[in-house]
Structure 1
Amino acid sequence: MRDARDILKRPVVTEKSMALLADNKYTFLVDLRANKSEIKKAVEEIFKVKVDKVSTLRVKGKPKRVRNVVGKTSDVKKAIVKLKEGDKIELFEGM
């Protein structure tokens, strides 16, 4: 099994993800190969909370161009993690 810190890359801090905090939902960028059970175990291990539900979505990279060079941004995978009642992650509380 992979290390929990390899599965969770970083938290997503946007207006939409901050609005989800009211429903006890936290958003993270995760490894593209990670599945829901691995994400659940990683969040529980790192933050010492109980996870109720995990939803995932893949975001395809956008095509970009700089002068004559054509490329694209990287594909990413997001995970929206709903915690059990009473649990919260302190990392997001100051925002």
Structure 2
Amino acid sequence: MSIIIKPIITEKITKEGEVFNRFGFVVDKKANKVQIKKAIEAAYGISVVDVNTMNYRADRTTKYTKSGLISGKTNSYKKAIVQVKEGETIDFYNNI
């Protein structure tokens, strides 16, 4: 089971990474904080200080178009904000 799905690279998360050593990841919905911490430490070889998680629900949308009513939804996901030890960093742009 892969716990880390993908890193989140947005302006806000990138700024937090530079200032507070905090990085964001989309993780498996069933993973807990301890599992997330172990997976990040194993994947990137760094020390994790703190893990915060957030569950995002699926949003339903309805569009009225010429061809009729179109309904859809976005996927639900779990986001983890990980704070690493002072002096350590994760470089997402460099291929390892």
What range describes the TM-score normalised by the shorter chain of this pair?
0.7 to 0.9
Q: Tell me, yes or no, if structure 1 residue 33 matches structure 2 residue 30.
A: yes
Q: RMSD of the alignment, in Å?
A: 1.6
> Could you report, residue by residue, the CA deviation over 1:26-67 in whole angstroms, capped at 9, with x for unpaired residues?
000001111000000000000000000000001112112354
In the alignment, which residue of structure 2 is the partner of 1:57?
A: 54
Letter paired with 1:78 = K
Tell me, which stretches of 5 or more residues in structure 1 are unaligned?
A: none
Larger radius of gyration: 2
In the alignment, which residue of structure 2 is the partner of 1:10?
A: 6
> TM-score, structure 1 length as denominator?
0.84
Q: Normalized per residue, which structure has more helix?
A: 1
For residues 7 and 53 of structure 1, do their structure 2 counterparts lie closer, same or farther at Cα, with a shift above 3 Å needed? same
Q: Normalized per residue, which structure has more strand?
A: 2
For residues 86 and 19 of structure 1, the distance between their equivalents in structure 2, rounded to whole angstroms, comes to: 16
1:13 deviation in Å? Answer: 1.0
For residues 36 and 60 of structure 1, the distance between their equivalents in structure 2, rounded to whole angstroms, comes to: 19
Tell me the percent identity.
36
> TM-score, structure 2 length as denominator?
0.84
For residues 92 and 51 of structure 1, the distance between their equivalents in structure 2, rounded to whole angstroms, comes to: 20
For residues 75 and 93 of structure 2, the distance between their equivalents in structure 1, rounded to whole angstroms, comes to: 25
Q: How many residues align?
A: 89
For residues 79 and 92 of structure 1, the distance between their equivalents in structure 2, rounded to whole angstroms, comes to: 19
For residues 24 and 36 of structure 1, do their structure 2 counterparts lie closer, same or farther at Cα, with a shift above 3 Å needed? same
For residues 13 and 78 of structure 2, the distance between their equivalents in structure 1, rounded to whole angstroms, comes to: 15
